[in-house]
Amino acid sequence: KKPAGAPDKALARPVTKVGVIGAGLMASQFALLFVRRLQVPVVITDLDQSRVDKGLGYIRDEIAALLAKGRISHDESNRLNALVSGTTDKADFADADWVIEAVFEELGVKQDVFAEIEKHISDTAVLATNTSSLSVEQIGAKLAHPERLVGFHFFNPVAVMPLIEVVNAPATSDETLATAMAVAAKLKKTAVITRDTPGFVVNRVLAKVLGEAMHAVDTGTSFEVMNRALDRFGLPMSPFELLELVGLKVGAHVLDTHHAAFPDRFFESANLHRLAEHGRIFDRDDKGKIKGFDKTAVKIV
Ligand code: 3HC
């Protein structure tokens, strides 16, 4: 058993360059946060140049939006743009001392991504995974140095949600954990250290709420009733909006992972898989405002 509590802060390693693997929406959101709060070079990578360009485009658009809102100065905007870069060459990660991934939520994919990046980085670089519910220990199974891997789980929308779950896997060293805590503090987020259990802390609870909401729909309660009841009950957003926010495929994956780990306690939802394939739960207007539900993919059992 690992000791509870945060390790000695003095063990934290300096972070002078950040590498981000994956240039999707989640990765792009936290790449922006890293560059704003750490003010160090941030390099992002993905499978091909078009994905990298899309991620970089998102970051540069968000920097422009911050400038337009008067949140940052012209100098700051220029500095942030200069600090961010994209690459498809892993050699550009050689001098990164904090490397975080948010690639597809599949164990084999994450294992291979880390095993590959380990060939390019220094011995002291820390690796972090933003996995939402996979085992951090298993993600690190192909690493030569699994002690350098830690879970670092952000929540959507990254700029707004104050929490990061720092997952202390069995092999995670105190130096790695201390570095993760120091990074979270620099990002001005609240970090909680969690055990390496399915769903960690938040998704374990959220999977219950989302699973029960989907199960109610699967078994005949209308979307409209569920949505209105849970919205007016006072949740910040209804479970169905939340599923669209996190991504329907990610949401389905979270439910599946919990159902696989605890079949008697968590639901999986065939409708959620159908909706994920379909791509949406809601009908929206041009500005993204909800008009109603798109039920073409839904089957009631
Ligand atoms: N992206 C970026 N910023 C956003 C955003 C988005 N999708 N949605 C809202 N914001 C920003 C707004 O720009 C605004 O910023 P500003 O004050 O600087 O202008 C701020 O958030 C507040 O927005 P609103 O006034 O629209 O406020 P709301 O009261 O509607 O709150 C919300 C929006 C914060 C998203 C709120 O609905 C909420 O808390 N929802 C629940 C979110 C949640 O539970 N997230 C966790 C999902 S689980 C997860 O991510 C883990 C994964 O592993 C599955």
**pLDDT tens across 266-280, in order?**
999 999 999 999 999
Q: Which residues of 201-225 are buried (b: 16+ CB within 10 A; e: fewer)?
A: bbbbebbbebbebbbbbbeeeebee
Q: Is 271 in the pocket of ligand 1 (CB under 6 A)?
A: no
- Reduced 3-state DSSP string for the chain: CCCCCCCCHHHCCCCCCEEEECCCHHHHHHHHHHHHHHCCCEEEECCCHHHHHHHHHHHHHHHHHHHHCCCCCHHHHHHHHHHEEEECCHHHHCCCCEEEECCCCCHHHHHHHHHHHHCCCCCCCEEEECCCCCCHHHHHHHCCCHHHEEEEECCCCCCCCCEEEEEECCCCCHHHHHHHHHHHHHCCCEEEEEECCCCCCHHHHHHHHHHHHHHHHHCCCCHHHHHHHHHHHCCCCCHHHHHHHHCHHHHHHHHHHHHHHCCCCCCCCHHHHHHHHHCCCEEECCCCCEEEECCCCCCCC
Specify the pLDDT at position 27. Answer: 96
CA distance 166 to 150: 7
Ligand 1 atom having least distance to the Cα of 247: 54
Q: What are the beta bridge partners of residue 194?
A: 167
pLDDT per residue over 104-135, tens digit each? 889 999 999 999 999 999 999 999 999 998 99
Question: 300 falls in which pLDDT band (50, 70, 90)?
Answer: confident
Specify the pLDDT at position 1. Answer: 58
| Over residues 223-240, mean pLDDT | 92
Q: Is the pLDDT of residue 287 over 80?
A: yes
pLDDT per residue over 159-207, tens digit each? 999 999 999 999 999 999 999 999 999 999 999 999 999 999 999 999 9
Specify the pLDDT at position 172. Answer: 97
CATH topology of domain 204-293: N-(1-d-carboxylethyl)-l-norvaline Dehydrogenase; domain 2 (1.10.1040)
Please confirm, yes or no, whether 259 is among the known catalytic residues.
no
Of 74, 120, 153, 215, catalytic = 153
pLDDT per residue over 48-70, tens digit each? 999 999 999 999 999 999 999 99
The correct answer on CATH 3.40.50.970 for the domain covering 9-195 is no
Q: Which residues of 28-60 are buried (b: 16+ CB within 10 A; e: fewer)?
A: bbbbbbbbbebebbbbbbbeeeebbeebbebbb
Specify the pLDDT at position 299. Answer: 87
- Calculate the average pLDDT of the chain: 95
Specify the pLDDT at position 3. Answer: 61
Q: Is 156 in the pocket of ligand 1 (CB under 6 A)?
A: yes
Q: Is the pLDDT of residue 140 over 70?
A: yes
**What is the identity of the amino acid at 103?**
V
This model of the complex carries an ipTM of 0.93
Q: Is the pLDDT of residue 6 over 90?
A: no
Ligand 1 atom having least distance to the Cα of 130: 53
The pTM is what? 0.95
Specify the pLDDT at position 2. Answer: 66
Ligand 1 atom having least distance to the Cα of 26: 50
Domain boundaries along the sequence of the chain: 9-195, 204-293
| Over residues 67-85, mean pLDDT | 98
Of 23, 36, 90, residue with least CA distance to 62:
36
Specify the pLDDT at position 69. Answer: 97
Q: Is 159 in the pocket of ligand 1 (CB under 6 A)?
A: yes
pLDDT per residue over 146-157, tens digit each? 999 999 999 999
